[in-house]
Structure 1
Amino acid sequence: MLQQPRQRPILAAGLPVDQLAKALRLRLAPAGWPLPLAALPAGSVLVGGAVRDALLGRLALRPDLDLVVPGNAVALARELARQLGGVVVVLDAERSIARLVLQGWTIDLARRMGANLQQDLLRRDYTANAIALQLTATGDGPEHPEAALLDCGAGLMDSNGGLLDPSGGLEDLAAGRLRAISEANLLDDPLRLLRGVRLAWELGFRLEATSLGWICQHGARLGHVAGERVLAELERLAVAPLGGGGLAQVVDTGLLASWCDELSPAGAPASCEKPANQGAAARQGAPARSGEPVILHQHLAKLRLEAAAERGLSEAETAWALPLARLACMLDGQSLARLKSSRRLQLSCQRLRHWWQRLGALGGDPDALPEEERLSLQRQLEGELPALALLLDAGWAPIALARWRDPADPLFHPRAPLDGASLQARLALKPGPRLGQLLEHLTRERAFGRLPAEPGENVAETLVEARHWLAKEAVPRHG
């Protein structure tokens, strides 16, 4: 799983606000952006995740940029695309929000809301996202060719070196606290309820108690948000290093009850705090059913990076298998369909849940399956076995993964020792169900070591077995 880039947190230096602004500009290095600051109108500022992550020492090499501009942002984005190239996507025509994709960078431009920048910032979701930075130092004038001077209506940034924080976001960031600006702001776009949980776990922060209470109280409103937007937040949370705990908190808060009946918070504490450890209540390897949120919480909380390392998954395998296991643990195919997920994700999660539940009845041991079922498991999960390994006890995983990584393994990558064309030519068979049944029989014999493992090896032995099966199947059955 990909880790967020880390730098020394600027906040940790304890700088005065004006020096903090200078340090932020150095960290953000706008001279390296594909968008010249001189192309922006006076009064444009950087807000949101890039400012937050730069302060925390989490800035990506190519961060997404959120710019607030004083005029028509859609028209500006189109003009910038005309001048600089790139592609424009209008995100919200009514509120004048557009995205400019330029040289691999994503730059969102939004028209300033309210009479000044302070009013705009106080409309946002969380204090951590409501900090604005003037991209040139206070005092730069028109003689500076890159200047993008700020006009926030009342000179609110002058004394702070071009950094505006009207809601106390700097203090919250320093304390590792995620705090909503207001209840009304969260309800303005109910997706912000889920985003709060995602941000807290991405950043390793704690949700401030009042904010968490609002999330719990209004979780049902998430049912009014487009499924694609909800799923996008869940997928981002699933790939976060601490995402298992975050998804467990989503279950605790009942945020997805409108989308999945099994995720009703029945039995979860009214305070939405983490449920107490129920010990033996969590059955091995079975997806939680309705009324079992505590058990589901425990399963999700176990899906950590440490679990992947314990089972021997590589970093590349962990990057896709851990998020998939987390989503499959929480959501069935029908719920994913309601969330407008891809058909591929629906099928992957449905298969994983089926085999997780089936193996749960056998104590989590795939070797206890009858041969026909075991072969079906290996076929259905041939591309997803590391995700299943994360859902089962750790003891089975190392040997299973070693075999899965061998593309020639006859059980973990089941194939017939001879293909259909070869069998038709050598045995004078016609295409049809009988040929398919023979291929299935030979595949099973090879998978369980009763025929040579290498395709094409000892063809004579394979043909003897094929003729034996054909002769046996030709004998009339009396019943």
Structure 2
Amino acid sequence: MRPTELPMGSVLVGGAVRDAFLDRLSDAPDLDLVVPDNALKSTRQLAQKLGGACVVLDEQRDMGRLVLGGWTIDLARQDGKTLEDDLNRRDYRLNAIALSFDGTPRLLDPTGGLEDLQDARVVAVNEANLQADPLRLLRGLRLTAELNMRLDAQTLKMLQRNRSLLPRAAPERIQAELLRLVAAPAADRAMATLLELELLKPWTRQSSATGDQQPLGAAKTSELLTDSERQQALPLARLTRLLPDTGLKELRFSRRQLQRCERLRYWIQRSTASGGCPCPDALTEPERLRLHMDLEQDLPALILTWPAALQQSWLERWRDPQDPLFHPRPPLNGTDLQETLQISPGPTLGALIQHLSLERAYGRVSTREQALNAARSWLFHQEVQTDPNGSCD
């Protein structure tokens, strides 16, 4: 799509303009366009002309989304009589820069966003704009985390003064901002500010484990991880420390996200000795097996919380997909056990599989024959325990 195909008076605003100056544009960035009027009508026309799809974002505010190949282009009606009015109603000055396509392309920066980009700072356009949409309070910290910038001192005071307004934002919108924040390069610093401002207090008030609400100091630990391991482990570890389970539920995190945080939180507490020092080797064999079954994919997130002396050896074993303890599997599946040993499906079969998984994890069985012998022995002892007076003629 060429700029000449856009509605007359279209201007590019927001993140794409900002990121272009920061040299951080992706190959297919999300684009935000402001048009003088009839944004939804224009979106439908472009979708029909170019073979894309039109999504209605807000019919009352005249906002639509054009999905075209790998591109997402949002069109919104100008807010105010002039484009300058629209830009002055935005959240932060670095998001209030526009690129006009009429005639020779030109930049419009009525609030001073270009200067903020040069100074690596996030500055609110004004306090009333933050109050108009309280999600913007959280967005400011997310921007500092993603762009590795500092929050302007006056803007910080605005966030503090208006923190009680954040619950007015939809839980799903807050959740989306937090997911982006915890995955950002400078997340730990932004989280420290977030906790200092108590911006999430409405969703942490029921938590008694205040120690879990501290930012994750994992910079040195994360150096031991590969890029892909960091992308998997750090957001989970940060989110688990940022919000208790009740807060995650109230903010409508997915069942999968909640389950991952619950399991990680449990094992952080369980693997820590009474003196406050992690001591995973003190776990019993069944507990160790359960730990590795619960956190098979997320174990680095747990390791991030441990002292350096414990980290390297656990990471090395976790990286070995053949390690039977760190990647537990039963030596025989349920179907094989049913057919070979004539066992019916049910609790006994499940307990047997768990037992064989434990035996394999600790190297006591490795071959099929050893597993079958271990299964027969276990079943025999179960029968004896069930009927201790039974005869063995």
TM-score, length basis structure 2 = 0.91
Measure, in 2, the Cα distance between the counterparts of 1:188 and 1:135: 29
Q: Which residue of 1 aligns with 2:218?
A: 303
- Which residue of the other structure, out of 328, 350, 353, is the alignment partner of 2:240? 328
- Which residue of the other structure, out of 282, 296, 318, is the alignment partner of 1:382? 296
> Structure 1 residue 373: deviation in Å?
1.1
Measure, in 1, the Cα distance between the counterparts of 2:381 and 2:284: 22
Matched residue type, 1:232? A
> Structure 1 residue 74: deviation in Å?
0.7
Q: How many residues align?
A: 385
Residue by residue over 1:239-263, the C-alpha shift from the partner in whole angstroms, topping out at 9 and shown as x without a partner, is: 1111122222211111111223157
Counterpart contact for 1:131–1:165, Cα < 8 Å: yes
Q: How does 1:131-210 map to 2 (within 5 A)?
A: 131-135=97-101, 138=104, 162-210=106-154
Residue by residue over 1:414-442, the C-alpha shift from the partner in whole angstroms, topping out at 9 and shown as x without a partner, is: 22222333334443434433333222222
Q: Which residue of 2 aligns with 1:282?
A: none
Matched residue type, 2:202? S
Residue by residue over 1:100-136, the C-alpha shift from the partner in whole angstroms, topping out at 9 and shown as x without a partner, is: 1112111111111112111111111111111111135
Q: Which residue of 2 aligns with 1:269?
A: none
Measure, in 1, the Cα distance between the counterparts of 2:369 and 2:47: 67
> Structure 1 residue 307: deviation in Å?
2.8
Measure, in 1, the Cα distance between the counterparts of 2:176 and 2:364: 47
Q: Which residue of 2 aligns with 1:261?
A: 205
Q: Which residue of 2 aligns with 1:62?
A: 28
> Structure 1 residue 361: deviation in Å?
2.7
Matched residue type, 1:203? L
Counterpart contact for 2:94–2:113, Cα < 8 Å: yes
Measure, in 2, the Cα distance between the counterparts of 1:349 and 1:131: 38
- Which residue of the other structure, out of 321, 327, 337, is the alignment partner of 2:249? 337
Q: Which residue of 1 aligns with 2:209?
A: 289
- Which residue of the other structure, out of 392, 395, 399, is the alignment partner of 2:306? 392
> Structure 1 residue 309: deviation in Å?
2.0
Q: Which residue of 1 aligns with 2:286?
A: 372
Measure, in 2, the Cα distance between the counterparts of 1:80 and 1:430: 61
Counterpart contact for 1:89–1:100, Cα < 8 Å: yes
Residue by residue over 1:207-239, the C-alpha shift from the partner in whole angstroms, topping out at 9 and shown as x without a partner, is: 111111111111121111111100100011111
Counterpart contact for 2:203–2:243, Cα < 8 Å: no
**Aligned residues with identical type, % of pairs:** 49
Quickly say closer, same or farther: Cα 1:475–1:100, change in 2 above 3 A: same
SS at match of 2:65: strand
Q: Which residue of 2 aligns with 1:107?
A: 73
**1:414 is aligned to 2:328:** yes
Counterpart contact for 1:303–1:326, Cα < 8 Å: no
Counterpart contact for 1:262–1:289, Cα < 8 Å: no
**1:471 is aligned to 2:386:** no
Measure, in 1, the Cα distance between the counterparts of 2:7 and 2:342: 79
Counterpart contact for 2:98–2:109, Cα < 8 Å: yes
Quickly say closer, same or farther: Cα 1:170–1:419, change in 2 above 3 A: closer
SS at match of 1:82: helix
Matched residue type, 2:209? R
Q: Which residue of 1 aligns with 2:369?
A: 460
SS at match of 1:334: helix
Quickly say closer, same or farther: Cα 1:136–1:416, change in 2 above 3 A: same
> Structure 1 residue 331: deviation in Å?
1.9
Q: How does 1:82-101 map to 2 (within 5 A)?
A: 82-101=48-67
**1:450 is aligned to 2:364:** yes
Quickly say closer, same or farther: Cα 1:39–1:432, change in 2 above 3 A: closer
Moved more, 232-241 or 316-325: 316-325
TM-score, length basis structure 1 = 0.76
Counterpart contact for 1:223–1:259, Cα < 8 Å: no
**1:37 is aligned to 2:3:** yes
- What's the Cα RMSD here? 2.1
Q: How does 1:225-244 map to 2 (within 5 A)?
A: 225-244=169-188
Measure, in 2, the Cα distance between the counterparts of 1:201 and 1:423: 52
Measure, in 2, the Cα distance between the counterparts of 1:475 and 1:134: 83
Matched residue type, 1:106? T
Measure, in 1, the Cα distance between the counterparts of 2:135 and 2:263: 29
Counterpart contact for 1:43–1:70, Cα < 8 Å: yes
Residue by residue over 1:290-320, the C-alpha shift from the partner in whole angstroms, topping out at 9 and shown as x without a partner, is: 4x5xx733x42x134x53222xx22222222
Quickly say closer, same or farther: Cα 1:184–1:410, change in 2 above 3 A: same
Quickly say closer, same or farther: Cα 1:240–1:476, change in 2 above 3 A: closer
Q: Which runs of 4 or more aligned residues in structure 1 lie more than 4 Å from their structure 2 counterparts after TM superposition? A: none
SS at match of 1:388: helix
SS at match of 1:109: strand
Counterpart contact for 2:148–2:185, Cα < 8 Å: no
Matched residue type, 2:282? A
Give the gaps of 5 or more residues in structure 1.
1-34, 139-160, 264-287
SS at match of 1:475: helix
